[in-house]
Amino acid sequence: MQPFEYASPTSRSEAVRLLSPRWGETEALAGGTDLLGLMKDYVCTPKRVVSLKRIADLRGIHLVPGKELRVGAMTTYRELTENESVRRHFPVLIQAIERIRSEQLRNMGSIGGGMLQRPRDWYFRLGYGLLPEKDGQAMIANGDNRYAAIFGNSGSASWVSPSTIAPALIALGARAALYGPRGLRVIDLDRLFTTPAQPGEREHTLRPNEILTEIIVPHREGIRSAVYEVRQKEASDYPLVLAAVTLELRGRSIRSARVILGQVAPVPWPSHEAESALVGKTLNEETAEAAGEAAVTHATPLSMNRYKVQLTRVAVKRAILEAA
Ligand SMILES: Cc1cc2nc3c(=O)[nH]c(=O)nc-3n(C[C@H](O)[C@H](O)[C@H](O)COP(=O)(O)OP(=O)(O)OC[C@H]3O[C@@H](n4cnc5c(N)ncnc54)[C@H](O)[C@@H]3O)c2cc1C
C-alpha cells in the first residue's frame, strides 16, 4: 500500500476541510471494506485518508412515523437490520441487506459506503479506470463482458452499479444529504449516481470534498415493496440481476409503481416501461409477467450477457408478486 496521511476529525466541517477539491488526492474512510482493498491494489492511492468514524452525528436511525426515516451515513448494515422500526416499517431494506451474505461486511459496512462503493468491474479493479479502452476500443464491450450492463452500455463505462441496497432505497423515494464547503444539499438518491463521460470523472455526483451525511426515506403506510435478486450461488458475492419494486394499491388495482433494476446498468436503472405496464392494472400474475417483459424492451445485451435479459424478466415478475 502506498504510504498516506491518516486524519480522524470529529466534526463534518473539519472532515470537509481535510478533503481535497480534486479526486484522487484524498479519500473518505467509512467501514473500509471497499476502500482498503482498492488501496492495497493501488487502484486508489490517496495522499490522505479522512476517517469519518469519530464524527458522532453521522450515525443513528430516526423514524418519524408517517413522515420519514433518517439514517446517518456511518450507520452499519447491522445496526439497520437490528432496528425495530426499520424491521417493522421497511422490511424491503432488511430483505436487501440480509442478502449480503457476509457477517463481516454487515458488521463493518456502512450505509454511506454502500451507496458510494466503487464498481466491482474487473477492468476497473485491475487499474484500467472507469472508461477502459484499448486502441480506441471499449474493453468491456470487446472483452469478457459476462457480468456487464445490458442497459446504458453504449459507451466504455458498461460495468454495473454495485450497490444492492440503492435500488430499494430509490424505489422508496429516498434522498441523500451531502455536506461540503458550501454547506448542506439534499438530492434525490437516484441523482447521486451517474455514468462518467470523461477520464477523471466518478460514478457519483458527490464532489471530492463533500461527504454523504444521511439517507432520508419517506415513510408512507400501505406501500408494498420487495426486492428480488438472482444470485449464481449462496456465497458472498454480488447478484447477477435484481429488481426492487414499490406498489401503491387501491384494492387489487395498482395506483402507482416504481421498478428499479440493479446489476444491469452503470447506475441503478429505473424501468419506466415496467412501471407503465403496471399502473392502472389489476395486480395478478399476468400483470407481473407483462411488466417483466416490458422491462427488457430496450435491453442491449453484449456478446456474453444475453442471459441477463431473461433474469431481468424473472426478477421483475417475482419482485412484483413478492411485494403483492
Ligand atoms: C465479497 C464481497 C461481497 C459483497 N457483496 C455485496 C452485495 O451483495 N451487495 C452490496 O451492496 N455490496 C456488497 N459488497 C460491498 C459492501 O457492501 C461494501 O464494501 C460496503 O458497503 C462499503 O461500506 P464501507 O463503510 O466499508 O465503505 P468504505 O470501504 O469505507 O468506502 C467505500 C467508498 O465510499 C466512500 N465513502 C464511504 N462513506 C462515505 C461518506 N459518508 N461520504 C463520502 N464518501 C464516503 C469512500 O471514500 C470509498 O470510496 C460486497 C463486498 C465484498 C468484498
| Ligand 1 atom 33 nearest Cα | 117
Domain ranges of the chain: 223-324
| Ligand 1 atom 43 nearest Cα | 211
* Alpha-helical runs (H) found in 99-226: 103-108, 111-116, 122-123, 166-171
What digits encode the pLDDT tens for the residues 29-46? 999 999 999 999 999 999
* Mean pLDDT, residues 70-98 taken together: 96
CB 149 within 8 A of CB 161: no
CA of 258 to the centre of ligand 1 (A): 25
Q: Is the pLDDT of residue 11 over 90?
A: yes
Q: What pLDDT, on the 0 to 100 scale, is given for residue 168?
A: 98
Instruction: Give the residue carrying C-alpha cell 473518505.
Output: 28
Report the residue among 43, 116, 185 best suited for mutation to probe ligand 1: largest number of ligand atoms under 8 A from its CB.
Answer: 116
H/E stretch holding 140: none
pLDDT-derived band at 195 (thresholds 50, 70, 90) equals very high
CA of 278 to the centre of ligand 1 (A): 33
Please state, in angstroms and rounded to a whole number, the distance separating the CA atoms of residues 224 and 324. 7
Q: What is the mean pLDDT of the chain?
A: 96
The reply to whether the predicted model has a pTM over 0.75 is yes
Report the residue among 11, 27, 115, 117 best suited for mutation to probe ligand 1: largest number of ligand atoms under 8 A from its CB.
Answer: 117
* Mean pLDDT, residues 111-116 taken together: 98
Please state, in angstroms and rounded to a whole number, the distance separating the CA atoms of residues 274 and 246. 12
* Mean pLDDT, residues 205-226 taken together: 96
Q: What pLDDT, on the 0 to 100 scale, is given for residue 214?
A: 98
Handedness of CA 21, 26, 27, 29 (dihedral sign): negative
Report the residue among 27, 34, 260 best suited for mutation to probe ligand 1: largest number of ligand atoms under 8 A from its CB.
Answer: 34
Options 3.30.390.50, 1.20.990.10, 3.30.70.100, 3.30.413.10; CATH for 223-324 is: 3.30.390.50
Closest ligand 1 atom to the C-alpha of 35?
29
What digits encode the pLDDT tens for the residues 229-269? 999 887 788 999 999 999 999 999 999 999 999 999 999 99
Q: What pLDDT, on the 0 to 100 scale, is given for residue 235?
A: 77
Closest ligand 1 atom to the C-alpha of 100?
8
Q: Which of 280, 119, 310 lies closest to 204 in space, CA to CA? A: 119
Q: Is the pLDDT of residue 14 over 80?
A: yes
In percent, the amount of the chain with pLDDT more than 70 equals 100
Q: What pLDDT, on the 0 to 100 scale, is given for residue 236?
A: 80
Q: How far is CA 314 from CA 37, 267, 318, in A?
A: 33, 20, 6
Q: What pLDDT, on the 0 to 100 scale, is given for residue 186?
A: 98
Closest ligand 1 atom to the C-alpha of 237?
3
Q: What pLDDT, on the 0 to 100 scale, is given for residue 234?
A: 76
Q: Which of 72, 55, 304, 267 lies closest to 157 in space, CA to CA? A: 267
What digits encode the pLDDT tens for the residues 274-311? 999 999 999 999 999 999 999 999 999 999 999 999 99
Q: Is the pLDDT of residue 109 over 90?
A: yes
Write the CB contacts of 47 (distance below 8 Å, at least 6 apart in sequence).
4, 5, 25, 26
CB 189 within 8 A of CB 176: yes
CA of 280 to the centre of ligand 1 (A): 38
Pocket of ligand 1 (CB under 6 A): 27-35, 52, 73, 100, 105, 108-110, 112-114, 116-118, 162-165, 211-212, 236-238
Q: Is the pLDDT of residue 59 over 90?
A: yes
CA of 152 to the centre of ligand 1 (A): 23
- Work out the burial of residue 273: count CB atoms within 10 Å of its CB; fewer than 13 is exposed, 13-18 middle, 19 or more buried: middle
* Mean pLDDT, residues 159-183 taken together: 98
* Mean pLDDT, residues 110-136 taken together: 96
